[in-house]
Amino acid sequence: MGFAELLEHVGSMGRFQVIHVILLSLPIFMMASHMILQNFTAGTPGHHCLVHHPNGTSGNQSLEAEDLLKVSIPMDEKGQPEQCRRFIHHQGQLLNATVANWTEMDTETCKDGWVYDKTVFPSTIVTEWDLVCSARALKQMAQSIYMAGVLVGGIVYGGLSDRFGRRLILIWSCLQLAVTGTASAFSPTFSAYCTLRFLTGMAYSGTVLNIFSLCVEWTPTRTRPLLSTYNGLAYTIGQMILAGLAYLIPEWRWLQLTVSLPYFLFFIYSWWFSESARWLVLAGKPEQAVKELKRAARMNGKPEASDKLNVELLRSNMKEEMASLKSSYTIVDLVRTPTMRRISCCLCFVWFSTSFAYYGLVMDLQHFGVNIYLIQLVFGAVDFPAKFISVLTISYIGRRFTQAATLVLAGLTILANIFVPQDMPTTRAALAVFGKGCLAAAFNCIYLYTGELYPTVLRQTGMGLGNTLSRLGGISAPLVKISSEYLPYLPHLIYGTAPVVSGIAAIFLPETRNASLPETIEQVENRSQAQKDPKQQQQMEALLDATKPETTKDAV
């Protein structure tokens, strides 16, 4: 009898687990607000150079004179004021005639600043620190810095939680996110803002990782797919919440403050959580593990189970888990054998491209030319049918088909948008929503698929590698937008090509539907050979089922 049986003994899905899962999920509702917050706090409004007064000074009141604007600012091909240039001297002849080629006139950059259209975005980091024209790349850099924080946080806090426990690092991460997120709202400079956002990204990872660990390690295997879906829907609802908050709170500092302050509440009640009993045993703290298990038993209404628990019983029942610690595996084992090497290489493509294309879409809502609050709401809502359909295809058709199909469809949709004219914003937005839904379904599949492809001895290592590639994709996505300076369609060409290529790579992954979870590298290699021979495959599955603990068989 292992830990799973002990958990059943004290109540595997009773009141204790229900309360834990609900309280752990509440921070997830605000996670999307931090990840895609810059759609609103870094919105770029219409703008043009501050114009000269006839007396040689500058001022906003000059905008009241339409003629003064006409003789001071060149017009682009759409008849709108140029955003980054102004005439050195007033061009009075433009009042009586239209000059087609203003490039022959003397112009200069916006030396005195810019005037912003504050209809949609009254205040953003762009308007506050003038992140336009020659400085517009800094806007994308700020998002990449945040994503770099998410990557570093995953590495740092992932290791710390294995050493010091899930509960302690979760408490710290909630506090860090609350403090740095709130401090970001009071940033005096752009550099300070980027530094605080980096620290917020680190705390984001620490919070997510340990919420997931505590959910998984306190619940039975059979409920994990349901928990994964539940937490995914919490994140989806969070995207819709952000649309409403951004509409009601257009000032970027107040919006930043609003999505950060709740984490002080999460920090306060996170002290109530129980440390993972499984981690406590493996960390050499069986006395504390017994205490936490007794607490679970009492809350689940099983006092007799609580009375029977002691350290000796715990140690005798967890011999198998403790013995597994004696075998050492490293990331090198992910590529040491042929099948493991193929799986790891293909999954690296899939993880990177899914995140890369996903954040390329969701962080560019202004590009589609429709109401940004409405499209954010729709972008969140599309996850519901997308994830429902993906669950059906995963369950009845297969993981490989779902992974490949969703990625290829997403890529083709993004590429199709290149050929849709800018004056068809509804069509462009509809294609983007469909593509985002496909990518959400791809994310839904890859988490489950990765866990099934890797053996138990390397499952966490493989998930860590995948998440690292995912974060690198998130870092790269904003930077690719800068390439639009050279070719307007280049970012979408890159965003669309990446998931198509990774969708093709997914075809070379083994199918895992209705297959038992492998425990060792040898089982992965043998299964790959067995899939070439149906009879051998049946024998292999029968052998896996016969040698696997009952609790492992419950995995999806």
Whole-number Å distance between alpha carbons of 263 and 26: 10
Do residues 311 and 445 both lie within one domain?
no
What is the arithmetic mean of pLDDT over 163-190? 92
End-to-end CA distance of the chain: 21
pLDDT at 83 over 60: yes
92 — pLDDT class (breaks 50, 70, 90): low
What is the arithmetic mean of pLDDT over 105-109? 76
pLDDT at 58 over 60: no
The single residue listed with the structure tokens 């009845």 is 396
> pLDDT: is 360 or 224 the higher one?
360
pLDDT at 54: 56
Question: Up-side HSE of residue 549: CA atoms within 13 Å toward CB?
Answer: 13
> Is the Cβ–Cβ distance between 177 and 207 less than 8 Å?
yes
pLDDT at 321: 59
- Split into its structural domains, the chain has a count of 4
Of 276, 293, 326, which closes a domain?
326
Q: Domain range holding 31?
A: 1-40+130-326
Structural domain contains residue 178: yes
- For residue 326, how many other CB atoms are within 10 A of its CB? 6
pLDDT tens digit sequence for 18-50: 888 889 889 988 888 888 898 899 888 888 888
pLDDT at 112 over 80: yes
> CATH number for the domain including 7?
1.20.1250.20
Structural domain contains residue 125: no
Do residues 220 and 365 both lie within one domain?
no
pLDDT at 412: 95
Do residues 391 and 426 both lie within one domain?
yes
pLDDT tens digit sequence for 356-396: 999 888 887 877 777 889 988 998 899 889 988 988 898 88
Do residues 198 and 295 both lie within one domain?
yes
Q: Which amino acid is at 12?
A: S
pLDDT at 550 over 50: no
> Is the Cβ–Cβ distance between 383 and 440 less than 8 Å?
yes
pLDDT tens digit sequence for 398-420: 889 999 999 999 999 999 988 98
pLDDT at 533: 57
555 — pLDDT class (breaks 50, 70, 90): very low
Beta bridge partners of 48: 115
Q: Which amino acid is at 510?
A: P
What is the arithmetic mean of pLDDT over 277-291? 81
pLDDT at 556: 34
Do residues 3 and 73 both lie within one domain?
no
CA distances from 257 to 113, 145, 198, 521 (A): 27, 19, 16, 48
Do residues 363 and 481 both lie within one domain?
yes
- Quote the percentage of the chain above a pLDDT of 90: 26
> Is the Cβ–Cβ distance between 384 and 436 less than 8 Å?
no
Report the candidate in 351, 344, 386 with the shortest Cα–Cα distance to residue 502. Answer: 351
> Is the Cβ–Cβ distance between 10 and 296 less than 8 Å?
yes
pLDDT at 301: 82
Structural domain contains residue 479: yes
Give per-residue burial for 512-530: e unless 16+ CB within 10 Å, then b. Answer: bbebbbbbebebbbbbbeb
For the record, the structure tokens of 447 come out as 């988490």
Do residues 322 and 338 both lie within one domain?
no
pLDDT at 254 over 90: yes
Question: Up-side HSE of residue 373: CA atoms within 13 Å toward CB?
Answer: 11
Do residues 310 and 240 both lie within one domain?
yes
Do residues 174 and 26 both lie within one domain?
yes
Strand, helix or coil for residue 80: coil
> pLDDT: is 365 or 187 the higher one?
187
Whole-number Å distance between alpha carbons of 297 and 305: 6
> Is the Cβ–Cβ distance between 382 and 243 less than 8 Å?
no
- Quote the percentage of the chain above a pLDDT of 70: 85
pLDDT at 53 over 70: no
Report the candidate in 78, 82, 79, 91 with the shortest Cα–Cα distance to residue 52. Answer: 91
pLDDT tens digit sequence for 477-532: 888 888 877 788 888 899 999 999 999 999 999 988 877 777 678 888 888 776 65
The single residue listed with the structure tokens 């001022």 is 59
Strand, helix or coil for residue 75: strand
Do residues 538 and 495 both lie within one domain?
no
The single residue listed with the structure tokens 């709170």 is 249
| Cβ burial, residue 134 (10 Å; 0-12/13-18/19+) | exposed
Would the CA dihedral through 335, 477, 486, 370 be positive or negative? Answer: positive
Structural domain contains residue 278: yes
Whole-number Å distance between alpha carbons of 90 and 56: 10
> pLDDT: is 352 or 159 the higher one?
352
Structural domain contains residue 98: yes
Do residues 151 and 189 both lie within one domain?
yes
> Is the Cβ–Cβ distance between 343 and 510 less than 8 Å?
yes
Highest mean pLDDT among 49-53, 158-162, 327-331: 158-162
Whole-number Å distance between alpha carbons of 190 and 198: 12
Whole-number Å distance between alpha carbons of 197 and 101: 44
Structural domain contains residue 369: yes
The single residue listed with the structure tokens 């506090």 is 175
- For residue 457, how many other CB atoms are within 10 A of its CB? 18
Structural domain contains residue 248: yes
Do residues 307 and 382 both lie within one domain?
no
pLDDT at 553: 39
Of 326, 348, 369, which closes a domain?
326
pLDDT at 184: 95
The single residue listed with the structure tokens 């790269």 is 476
341-345-350 Cα angle (round to 5): 145
pLDDT at 313: 73
pLDDT at 128: 92
For the record, the structure tokens of 340 come out as 């493991």
Whole-number Å distance between alpha carbons of 207 and 202: 9
Considering the chain, what is the average pLDDT of its residues? 82
DSSP-based helix, strand, coil % in the chain, nearest 5: 70, 5, 25
61 — pLDDT class (breaks 50, 70, 90): very low
Of 481, 497, 513, which closes a domain?
513
pLDDT at 416: 93
195 — pLDDT class (breaks 50, 70, 90): very high
pLDDT at 227: 76
Give per-residue burial for 108-119: e unless 16+ CB within 10 Å, then b. Answer: eebeeebbbeee
pLDDT at 536 over 60: no
Structural domain contains residue 123: no
Residues 6+ apart with CB under 8 A from 201: 34, 145, 146, 147, 148, 149, 150, 151, 152, 153
519 alpha-carbon distance from chain centroid: 29
